[in-house]
Chain A
């Protein structure tokens, strides 16, 4: 008996598609550029992976310490250390072009113009299957206010990126937004093919002996199991408000965690911090998911997407009735 279908298309409205053999994706910043893990796991079996966030110019990142463990989680303030757009293009996409796994490139910038420059340059680069736009960055032209906390700024970045690339565009949402549904809808209206959520939550931990924050940057992004309930709740809400595919992430360390995201309404999931701890976790999920679906009598992954989210399922039913009527 064949196992249930777990393939997904994260860009159904885009002629270039973003078809994945399975819905399991290592998250940006937690998988390097793919090669780091190639000795430990079969990278080609992944649904896709998202590469470390790149910026137009090289960045050496923040001073040390950059990471600190917290209860069932960690704070990081890496500061987007990366070789910059030009060296990135020379070094990594040529390697990925020989790989079968789709690679999604995470882009970060502090101005709309910089996002546009990267998206336009990457559009025709072989070896890249899609872009993930990291809007959890300060907008230097808005007093450092995070793009992803404001619907208009998120829409502006998305629209500008959409205009210069035909690649599938995933907008990665920040959990710092007051109303994440509003931000997701703004991204959808501005042409995003999908949204991914959540990025890290801003946090701090203080060294009480030295009476100062442990991270040199003072604040850092909280990730890992500690953030999972927040992430699941946000995916659940966003699923009721948008019609594009949702990629859910935040604290996934097991099949049960992944199922929570699918049942909340995610079409695919990403694994971040858990990749550091258990490099085989993505492979384990790819193996376990179809077996679990079969045990549950499901024909495909679609059977469980949003199955804990009645308003999402109702919306889906209306949408598919509408498209059948056309």
Chain B
């Protein structure tokens, strides 16, 4: 389905991940069936009668809900745009462009999938985990946050997922970074999927480097870049890859970590 512009309605708002919210927004007929994990929606973070903040903000789909033609997104009130969205109430209307981006892909031969999530980066990995479990695959979900309150609640993941957490302050799980945990799982994992701050990708790559042979398991990463258009027109969101500059809104946001030029 090519991207569409649509008016969406906020159907539900639930607290999640500390100060973040899980927001259920309506989507056009058929769209919820077509979302691929890792795809995102581009939301105008303001109402009528104002031009500020000017640009849309991208949010990964956390969970499609085909049964009531909606999707969940996870919104962390960070700055002006996300803060505005987080302050909206049930019934409010949002101006949305979507679906955008390429999404994660599970190799047909993969059995064991390792997810490495930092903060709201958990959102697309929740959807990916649900899809993997439905296919009968094994999923381990590593989640990092500043404190216990900032972690994804286990109820957001299918029961069969092994959920392991790390906190910066040691209030729950491993005391330290989520990337410290990852090397233990490398021999088991057929594929690794990660989303979170760019710092985390760098330390993940460093942590896994000595444990990977012939770049195995492959690692897919969802990159976060400031975006303007979301459709490949402005070239503001590029990722430097070994094949050249890549517009992360259309050719990403998901990339093979080994293809990124850091």
Q: Which residues of A are in contact with B by a Cβ distance under 8 Å?
A: 29-32, 36-37, 39-40, 52, 60-61, 63-69, 71-74, 76, 78, 81, 224-225, 253, 273, 275-280
| B52 touching A72, Cβ below 8 Å | yes
Q: Is the CB of B238 closer than 8 A to any CB of chain A?
A: yes
| A277 touching B54, Cβ below 8 Å | yes
| Alpha-carbon distance between A280 and B245 when the two chains are bound, in angstroms | 28
Q: From residue A230, how far is it (CB to closest CB) to chain B in Å?
A: 16
| Alpha-carbon distance between A52 and B2 when the two chains are bound, in angstroms | 22
Q: Could you list 10 further interchain pairs (A-B, Cβ under 8 angstroms) beyond the known A37-B231, A277-B55? A: A40-B3, A60-B244, A61-B245, A64-B238, A72-B54, A73-B54, A225-B54, A276-B56, A279-B97, A280-B5
- Which of A29, A60, A61, A277 contacts B44 (CB under 8 A)? A277
Q: Is the CB of B175 closer than 8 A to any CB of chain A?
A: no
| A225 touching B51, Cβ below 8 Å | yes
Question: How many interface residues does B have (CB within 8 Å)?
Answer: 30
| A61 touching B238, Cβ below 8 Å | yes
| A66 touching B236, Cβ below 8 Å | yes
- Which of A39, A72, A276 contacts B228 (CB under 8 A)? A276
Q: Mark B23-65, 1 if CB is under 8 A from A, else 0.
A: 0000000000000000000001000000111111000000000
Q: Which residues of B contact A39 (CB under 8 A)?
A: 2-3
Q: Which residues of A contact B3 (CB under 8 A)?
A: 39-40
Q: Is the CB of B229 closer than 8 A to any CB of chain A?
A: yes
| B236 touching A78, Cβ below 8 Å | yes
Given A68-B226, A224-B54, the answer on whether A36 and B236 have CB atoms closer than 8 Å is no
| Alpha-carbon distance between A60 and B235 when the two chains are bound, in angstroms | 10
Q: Which residues of B contact A76 (CB under 8 A)?
A: 228, 234, 236
| B97 touching A273, Cβ below 8 Å | no
Q: From residue A78, how far is it (CB to closest CB) to chain B in Å?
A: 5
Q: Which residues of A contact B5 (CB under 8 A)?
A: 40, 279-280
Q: From residue B95, how far is it (CB to closest CB) to chain A in Å?
A: 8
5 closest cross-chain pairs (CB), A and B: A67-B236, A39-B2, A32-B233, A276-B229, A276-B228
| Alpha-carbon distance between A81 and B239 when the two chains are bound, in angstroms | 13
Q: Is the CB of B174 closer than 8 A to any CB of chain A?
A: no
Q: Which residue of B lies closest to A65 (CB)?
A: B226
Query: Which residues 55-91 of B have a CB within 8 angstroms of A?
Result: 55-56
Query: Which residues 159-189 of B have a CB within 8 angstroms of A?
Result: none
Q: Which residue of A lies closest to B228 (CB)?
A: A276
- Mind listing 19 A-B residue pairs with CB under 8 Å? A31-B233, A32-B232, A39-B2, A40-B4, A60-B244, A61-B235, A64-B240, A65-B225, A65-B226, A66-B236, A66-B238, A73-B54, A76-B228, A78-B234, A78-B236, A81-B245, A225-B52, A275-B229, A276-B229
| A74 touching B54, Cβ below 8 Å | yes
| B54 touching A275, Cβ below 8 Å | no
Q: Which residue of B lies closest to A225 (CB)?
A: B51
Q: From residue B136, how far is it (CB to closest CB) to chain A in Å?
A: 35
| Alpha-carbon distance between A224 and B51 when the two chains are bound, in angstroms | 9
Q: Which residues of A contact B239 (CB under 8 A)?
A: 64
| Alpha-carbon distance between A278 and B43 when the two chains are bound, in angstroms | 11
| B54 touching A29, Cβ below 8 Å | no
- Which of B4, B44, B228 contacts A74 (CB under 8 A)? B228
| Alpha-carbon distance between A276 and B57 when the two chains are bound, in angstroms | 11
| Alpha-carbon distance between A88 and B127 when the two chains are bound, in angstroms | 39
Q: From residue A287, how far is it (CB to closest CB) to chain B in Å?
A: 15
Q: Which residue of A lies closest to B80 (CB)?
A: A69
Q: From residue B141, how far is it (CB to closest CB) to chain A in Å?
A: 29
| B235 touching A66, Cβ below 8 Å | yes
Q: Which residues of A contact B56 (CB under 8 A)?
A: 276-277
